[in-house]
Amino acid sequence: MAEPVAPGRAWRTVLERIENDLLSGALGPGDRLPSERDLSADLGVGRSSVREALRVLEVMGLIRTSTGSGPQAGAIVIAAPSGGMAALLRLQVAAQGFPLTDVVQTRLVLEDAVVAALSADPQRDLTVVHSVLDAMDADTLTSGEFLALDASLHYALAEAAGNTVITATMAGLRTAIESYVVEGAARIARWDAMASRLRAEHRAIVAAIEQGDVSKAKTLVNSHITGYYTAAGLVPGAD
């Protein structure tokens, strides 16, 4: 068919085609995209242009590609927002498009919203949260392992709140500053003490949520996060 030819951007043609198919419902989660060669022929562009577009979709977490044949091979639509969000935020931080303090602040805002939503909702299911809390009690954890669980905990909270955009964004923000967080952990003199403190704060936050005490939960989560970032030297002061 070879659409009338978009000026200058063959790969954009491909991107638009996919996006339209997604919007029109012709493509949905789980579906397989046409093969690269087919798309190339259909749109009248080179296969390399098709690949550039697919690469974008892949990095953004929209598709997954695999080689071979069969129903699982090829490019398949998956909606994995976290991955794309993380990649985007990480790169933007690296390119100094996003100052660290803004990332941290935003995390505060979202975490606030999460605990507020959870506190207000008596139906929430914090099973996962509790199991992570328990896992964090092990005293053999390295700081890296502990921080990984910490990430899981906050992720579980966000997930329990049920907003996918917020969950993905928070996960992305966390990933974006992960290297700084880990690096910051090394700057903390007595890690054991910090770990105990974090454990206690986590328990307190969850308790406040379960008691439905919105303002208390918000206060606790705020001091929890700013406290750690300050101790790790990631943000100037308590701002």
Distance in Å, CB of 193 to its own copies, minimum: 30
Binding pattern to its own copies, positions 97-136, x when CB under 8 A?
A: xxx--xx-xx--xx--x-----------------------
Number of residues forming the site for its own copies (CB under 8 A): 51
Long-range contacts formed by 131-134: CB under 8 A, 24+ apart? 132/156, 133/199, 133/202, 133/203, 133/206
Distance in Å, CB of 216 to its own copies, minimum: 18
Per the DSSP assignment, residues forming a β-bridge with 49 are: none
CA 138 to mean position of chain CA atoms = 26
Q: Which does 38 bind (CB under 5 to 8 A by kind): DNA, its own copies, none?
A: DNA
Q: Closest by alpha carbon to 103, among 181, 16, 184, 215?
A: 181
Helix H or strand E segment including 34: none
Distance from C-alpha of 156 to C-alpha of 209, rounded to nearest angstrom: 14
Structure tokens at 74: 């090829």
Give the DSSP per-residue string, 38-100.
HHHHHHT--HHHHHHHHHHHHHTTSEEEE-SSSTTSEEEE---HHHHHHHHHHHHHHTTSS-H
Distance in Å, CB of 141 to its own copies, minimum: 27
CB nearer DNA, residue 12 or residue 124 = 12
CB nearer its own copies, residue 84 or residue 228 = 84
Which residues in this chain contact DNA in the complex, by CB under 7 A?
A: 8-11, 33, 35-38, 40, 44-49, 51-52, 54, 65-75
Distance in Å, CB of 60 to DNA, minimum: 15
Binding site for its own copies (CB under 8 A): 11, 15, 19, 22-23, 27-29, 48, 51-53, 55-57, 59-62, 77, 79-81, 84-85, 87-92, 94-99, 102-103, 105-106, 109-110, 113, 163-166, 168-169, 173
